[in-house]
């Protein structure tokens, strides 16, 4: 299992029942964990193969999405740049 805790500023979580979106980086996963703060919530999403990504969203958004552990969600990543580094 590979864990990749990515903290992305432009990561959106949503339910995709009949919603169509132009974003190309849409990853299906399950909510693995939720940590609520006073204003924001940290949502851990486990993707197929065990990769984990983390999104910080408003607590209000987490409540409106009715996020619970084990719920199927889609992570939508909007990135304007990707950096690569080596040792």
* 37-82 tens-digit pLDDT: 999 999 999 999 999 989 999 999 999 999 999 999 988 887 767 6
Quick check: helix, strand or coil at residue 11?
Answer: strand
Q: Is 44 a member of any domain?
A: yes
- The CA angle 64-47-16, to the nearest 5 degrees, is 40
Q: Is 11 a member of any domain?
A: yes
- Quick check: pTM over 0.95? no
H or E stretch covering 63: helix 59-64
Measuring CA to CA, which residue among 4, 2, 10 is closest to residue 78?
10
Per residue in 6-47, pLDDT tens?
Answer: 554 445 555 555 667 777 788 899 999 999 999 999 999 999
CATH number at residue 60: 2.40.50.100
The number of domains in the chain is 1
């Amino acid at each position: 299992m590979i864990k990749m805790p990515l903290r992305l500023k432009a990561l959106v979580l949503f339910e995709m029942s009949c919603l169509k979106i132009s974003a190309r980086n849409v990853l299906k996963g399950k909510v693995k964990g939720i940590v609520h703060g006073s204003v924001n919530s940290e949502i851990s999403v486990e993707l197929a193969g065990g990769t984990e990504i983390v999104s910080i969203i408003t607590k209000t958004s987490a409540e409106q999405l009715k996020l619970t552990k084990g719920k199927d969600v889609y992570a939508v990543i909007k990135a304007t740049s990707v950096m690569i580094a080596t040792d």
